[in-house]
A and B are shown apart, each in its own frame.
Chain A
């Protein structure tokens, strides 16, 4: 469970202070699928970084599963990220020198996962992200955008995260493959109970979540349930 209490984030650049987030009070339960929406510069990325333990709030408290993480050391944050959080980025961020399998395995080398079970676990993750298994020895530059995002999803799954943070995951994809990725998130959310936090500026994408949190000028302006949620069809996902 994610709980933010009166979270502030101020960036200092010399004399100038920029308030990126103010008074953020937010609660995301385990197994929820939410979207964070807002125009660029609204602070949604900062919020994602704080939730994703890549950044610390300037003020306020962040409780992750009841633990106050706002004062933890870098080392401990790394450990928590590795264990609990999977990241998906707009630009995929696959390592070009590593093949699909190696890319998926990457987070596990920083975890306790035994070396002998890595490959098996990676293949399992690739199956869950619906990646075609005959491509696992290909390199990222040999894959389409949709496939690369699947690799990234598999990579985020390898350490069995509680939370997946997806930052504009469909931004670099066409509508159809984007839809497909969103459906994958829904499936992971339902089948594995993973909390999904989707950051986007597109209404259509946001509507795949159960709840939309709107943010503007560093403040939450609304939290509402999605009325006509775009839900996946439970038939076979062939890519």
Chain B
């Protein structure tokens, strides 16, 4: 039997019961659309996390005080309690090759009052000059700190774009005064807006020299973290080991009392969380695809039973078992293929809608489209096979007598 005839015969049978065929296709459409939109959501969040982490500066290593135990994650590590990172650590790290910049950071939360009378509870970040390089921060308006200002405990502040707006509204904050814990600071610059990076948004921070922060606000000589920008990806591992060695010796401890994270660590942790989530969602969506597949099997079984006589006749006039098998299989593959294509279109529409309405990044890769075409055709093959086999094995004599 020629392929063209096979296609024509299959198509004719499907056409003969349009409503039933349509409803069965709908089952597959829903299944595929669900899978596609779930995957697009997962892929989208992966990409947006990746982007926001990269926007914090690439090739970065971050040294935190304290040991982060595997399995407990780094959020719940209670790192604020461990105090080990001091200026000496920064100077030790400076001796390492292949480092572009070092950012030593200390943060506290304080009540801030602006000249305008507005007040907010804000995270104040004490930094050195390296901060702006390491964290990819740029000044929108005004100036950066100078080395002198940092060395001389100058009470100058750079505002995040959001906090600048909160405190000063439409007024230009440059040159204005703000009060942090009774100390008066002069605003010298505004940061360029960066948006949320997933955990922190520097738009809500106030940046001041770390010297003032340590001495006059926090009353400590320790840092919360030291971030290091490495000159290239290849050197990250080397620099990390160097930092661990040097600081361990400096601290005179056997085991490091600090932890070095790379951005890749954070990224891969987050990615694996999202992957798990995506798989979970896709699995649920996959259940609806399975139900769609069962719908096909149900329809094909009904249709084979209805067509018992026809199958008997076809066999009597010379159809081989394989001709019947192929025809029924092709019918179910056609249903899933059409359902798959429509499902992809619906899935695209849903993910577009979600990204527009809920403002969530979605991403549909060619891979996921190809995969769903293959999966839906596979569903057709698997769920069509049993009815097709049943039809092809019909005894023509019995089939022709079937009432």
* Chain A interfacial positions (CB closer than 8 Å to B): 49, 52, 54-55, 74-75, 78-79, 81-83, 87, 89, 93, 95, 97-98, 106-107, 109-111, 115, 155, 159
Tell me whether A110 and B319 are in contact in the complex, defined as CB-CB below 8 angstroms, given that A97-B12, A98-B12 are known contacts: yes
Question: Are A89 and B318 closer than 8 Å at their CB atoms?
Answer: no
Question: Are A155 and B397 closer than 8 Å at their CB atoms?
Answer: no
Closest-CB distance, B17 to chain A (whole angstroms): 9
Question: Are B323 and A110 closer than 8 Å at their CB atoms?
Answer: yes
Tell me whether A159 and B318 are in contact in the complex, defined as CB-CB below 8 angstroms, given that A54-B397, A97-B16, A98-B12 are known contacts: yes
Task: Closest A residue to B315 by CB, please name it.
Answer: A78
Which of chain B's residues have a CB closer than 8 A to the CB of A83?
318
Q: Which range contains the number of B residues in contact with the other chain?
A: 20 to 34
Closest-CB distance, B392 to chain A (whole angstroms): 10
- Chain B 311-322 per-residue mask, 1 if CB under 8 angstroms from chain A, else 0: 011111111111
Which of chain A's residues have a CB closer than 8 A to the CB of B2?
109, 115
Does B1 reach chain A (CB closer than 8 Å)? Answer: yes
Tell me whether A74 and B320 are in contact in the complex, defined as CB-CB below 8 angstroms, given that A49-B397, A55-B397, A109-B2 are known contacts: yes
Task: Closest A residue to B6 by CB, please name it.
Answer: A109
Question: Are A78 and B12 closer than 8 Å at their CB atoms?
Answer: no
Tell me whether A115 and B4 are in contact in the complex, defined as CB-CB below 8 angstroms, given that A54-B397, A97-B16, A109-B9 are known contacts: yes
- Chain B 1-20 per-residue mask, 1 if CB under 8 angstroms from chain A, else 0: 11011000100110010000
Tell me whether A54 and B318 are in contact in the complex, defined as CB-CB below 8 angstroms, given that A109-B9, A110-B1 are known contacts: no
* Chain B interfacial positions (CB closer than 8 Å to A): 1-2, 4-5, 9, 12-13, 16, 309-310, 312-323, 396-397, 400
Closest-CB distance, A97 to chain B (whole angstroms): 5
Q: With the chains together, A97 CA to B9 CA distance in Å?
A: 11
Closest-CB distance, B89 to chain A (whole angstroms): 82
Which of chain A's residues have a CB closer than 8 A to the CB of B322?
75
Interface centre among A52, A87, A155 (most CB of B within 10 A): A87
Closest-CB distance, B8 to chain A (whole angstroms): 8
Question: Are B4 and A93 closer than 8 Å at their CB atoms?
Answer: no
**Given known contacts A54-B316, A110-B314, what 11 new A-B pairs fall within 8 Å (CB)?**
A74-B320, A75-B322, A78-B318, A81-B316, A93-B309, A93-B400, A97-B16, A106-B313, A107-B317, A109-B9, A111-B318
Question: Are B310 and A95 closer than 8 Å at their CB atoms?
Answer: yes
Which of chain A's residues have a CB closer than 8 A to the CB of B16?
97
Partner of A81, one of B13, B318, B400: B318
Task: Closest B residue to A165 by CB, please name it.
Answer: B316
Which of chain B's residues have a CB closer than 8 A to the CB of A75?
320-322
Which of chain A's residues have a CB closer than 8 A to the CB of B309?
93
Q: With the chains together, A97 CA to B17 CA distance in Å?
A: 10
Q: With the chains together, A228 CA to B278 CA distance in Å?
A: 85
Task: Closest A residue to B401 by CB, please name it.
Answer: A45
Closest-CB distance, B4 to chain A (whole angstroms): 7
Which of chain B's residues have a CB closer than 8 A to the CB of A79?
318, 320
Closest-CB distance, B397 to chain A (whole angstroms): 5
